[in-house]
Amino acid sequence: MIKIYLSIAVLLFSFIGTTQESTAMKKIKRGAFVPLYGSDSLGVYVPDFMLDVYPVTNQQYLDFVKKRAKWKKSKVLRLFANESYLRKWENDTILGPEMNKNSAITNVSWYAAKDYCACQGKRLPSMDEWEYAAMASEKEPNAQTDSVFNSRIIESYELPKTYKNKVGKKFKNYYGIYDMHGLVWEWTSDFNSVLISGESRQDVDTEKNIFCGSASINASNLMDYAAFMRYAFRGSIKANYNIQTLGFRCAKSIKK
Amino acid sequence: MKNNRFNVTSKAFAVLGLVTLMACAQETADTKTAMVSVDPATIEVQGEMKAELTSPPMVPASVGNRAAKKLIVDMEILEQEGTMTDGVKYVYWTFGGSVPGSFIRTRVGDEVEFTLKNHPDNKLPHNIDLHAVTGAGGGAASSFVAPGHEVTFSFKTLNPGLYVYHCATAPVGMHIANGMYGLILVEPEGGLPVVDREYYVMQGDFYTKGENGDPGLQPFDMQKAVDEDADYVVFNGKVGALTGDNALQAKVGETVRLYVGNGGPNLVSSFHVIGEIFDKVNVEGGDMVNENVQTTLIPAGGAAMVEFKVDVPGTFIIVDHCIFRAFNKGALGMLKVEGEENKRLYSGKQVEGIYNPEGGKIVTTDDAPEAAVATSKTERIELGKQIYSQTCFACHQGEGQGIAGAFPPLAKSDYLNTDVDRAIGIILHGKTGEITVNGEKYNSVMTAQTLTDEEAANVLTYIYNSWDNNGTEVTPTDIMRVKSSH
């Protein structure tokens, strides 16, 4: 009996010890929803897909760059990641002194995130997929009208320095996914597909409903305010940017 | 108070014809008189300089007679926790680390090269819309910047005046509500007339999840912001930014100019200084000057320059004359004027009695939140301090020193220390009529305070254990005893 326990323990240890253990995934059940930028109230249909339970952590990313030399801090091409890439790391293989290995990896570019997921046999979630999964509260898949949930999200967006927190410590949503809100922003595969001029108020003309001036926003629509902040953020970044408060997680299509 | 400025002005205009248009080339005192009829767009810049940026309530040095220059403005955006009032924290989003943001001072014709830096630890993208910019979005589109990045854009200042700048990133209302606004001054050629003191004051309204005074880190409340139901209306970003030790200062005989802005996001300010009349107001921050103004309206996203000579000493209270905002939500500042009394102008016996604070609490019949109950003397003092700053501070002042001739001191007060029950009675029932405190006579009115027994006990204990008083602890039982003895 003891032997079995031991071997289980060894197994567990080897799992933890193994470099680059892939994050567990959960299935997000298909459905339709109206995203913030949905023009003319057209819904978007999201087929079944798998999504990482946690954002990718510092440790996981460290293991990744040890194997993929082109993503080492000293080797990376500026075209794919600007000067801020892994800005707080000591060097190519050592995390910075204040970084926790179980916190979400940040200061990584879209190119790096995309390649990381590809190496796992996964991909980045699309913006629609991400937004769809992020609507879920603890109890329901679509909490768009839950005002308590929504003000909680806005509050969490405002708290400074949440990138320092560890993954998986806040609530688990309906699908079993952690940290969609309140830890770090996350890259999506098509983050820049919503055109934003940078002049938020003007965008009312071009992309109806996206930005603040829009009269469509009323008090019952708090979900949109949190979404505003995400879309505004996405609109301000480029694929080679590396930002202290921006990480990612991976997704996977389900083969029919 | 007014000087005989009309004559001076008309003389200046007479000279004007003689000196016309030699202004650009020469940096002489005459430039001031020759400011008309130059198209600002054609003013050539001479050299470059780094702009001095100041935190409120200070302003940078006047442009004086300097030529138009390329002006380098370097501004950093910081999202940081600050203090709204005693015991209440708030996460402010700031231009330059203060609310309102750094004051920018330019002159007509300057070419401003503006670099906006978004600190890497910030969570959100930001931008800046300067109302002094002629161009779509006021610079907003060109200045949209992600955390950990910086952008640079340039503009030429064409119109003299005092202008608001603010963040215009979605959701715009939230960025402004968290403190992202400030003032940029464009002086005419030769600068504004020189005055003795200049200060920077900006009003803003804040919306917190808890009610006014609820302790702890208070998150922004979007619903209240949409409903325009402000919990705090303050000058310079927090309650007490311009009171007590932070009060603005001046000396009798000096002329004071206030650059007053209103960041909003929602409320229009009825800006007033109790006991003063504005000799001059640049209405809405523009060229039009109104004289002898009591209260000037400052729209959200607007500004005004107000100027007055201070003739008598004393503490002048700066308020939004939507008066509940002043006494219940924080829109109260002070200008302390030192110098010789002038009994001819002000007898000193009258009292600013009209706007007596009527207590900081709104009385509700039910659903009142559980109030904190002190379990020790230390806690009692701590809780009492908060009540003091909400309820007693305006008259009795930060150090309990009172206001000479109007409101008696609580610090080292013989009147207070001789009789605890009398002090309790005054809190419960108010006090009218002449009393003598530390040898000075006071004849003024204090209204009855709407405090619970617990709150009254706490605030009295705080007072008795501050400023060299005798250290008495007053308990709710004492309050009840005094209540029933009447």
pLDDT digits (tens, 9 = 90+) for A169-213: 999 999 999 999 989 999 999 888 765 555 545 444 444 444 443
pTM: 0.70
Per-residue pLDDT at A39: 45
| CA nearest neighbour of B332 among B214, B233, B449, B404 | B233
DSSP A166: B
**Closest partner CB to A160 (pick from B91, B148, B223):** B91
Residue A231's pLDDT is what? Answer: 83
Closest CA to A211 of A41, A36, A91: A36
Q: Distance between CA B92 and CA B78 in Å, rounded?
A: 8
Pick the residue from chain B with its C-alpha nearest to A156. Answer: B219
Give A158's contacts in chain B (Cβ within 8 Å): 91, 123, 178, 219-220
User: Which residue in A has a C-alpha nearest to residue B123's C-alpha?
Assistant: A245
Shortest Cα–Cα distance, B152 to chain A (Å): 14
Rg over alpha carbons for chain A, rounded to the nearest Å, is: 19
pLDDT by residue for chain A (256 residues), tens only, comes to 455 554 544 444 444 434 456 899 999 999 988 776 644 456 788 999 999 999 999 999 999 999 999 999 999 999 999 999 999 999 999 999 999 999 999 999 999 999 999 999 999 999 999 999 999 999 999 888 888 888 888 888 888 889 999 999 999 999 999 999 989 999 999 888 765 555 545 444 444 444 443 333 433 455 677 888 888 888 888 999 999 999 999 999 998 6
Check: CB of residue B261 under 8 Å from CB of residue B182. Answer: yes
Chain B CB contacts of A197 under 8 Å are 141
Low-confidence ranges of chain B (pLDDT < 70): 1-37, 348-371, 486
A225/B contact by beta carbon, under 8 A: yes
Asked if A214 has any chain B CB less than 8 Å from its own CB, the reply is: no
**pLDDT tens per residue across span A139-154:** 999 888 888 888 888 8
What is the CB-side half-sphere exposure of residue B384 using CA atoms within 13 A?
25
Question: Which residues touch B59 (CB under 8 Å, ≥6 apart)?
Answer: B103, B105, B185, B198, B199, B200, B259
Q: Residue A42's pLDDT is what?
A: 65
Task: Give the span between the Cα atoms of B123 and B175, in whole angstroms.
Answer: 12
Query: In B, residues 299-338, which contact A (CB 8 Å cutoff)?
Result: none
Q: Which residues of B touch A198 (CB under 8 A)?
A: 127, 140-144
Q: Do B121 and A160 touch (CB under 8 A)?
A: yes
The alpha carbon of residue A196 is apart from the nearest alpha carbon of chain B, in Å, by: 10
Q: What b/e sequence results for B246-281 when a residue is b if at least 16 CB atoms lie within 10 Å of its CB, and e otherwise?
A: ebbebebebbbbbbbbbbbbbbbbbbbbbebebbbb
The mean pLDDT of chain A is 82
At A221 the pLDDT is 54
> A137 is written with which tokens?
């509260």
Q: What is the pLDDT of residue B185?
A: 97
- What's the rounded Cα separation, in Å, for the pair A194 and B359? 52
Rounded to a whole number of angstroms, the CA Rg of chain B reads 25
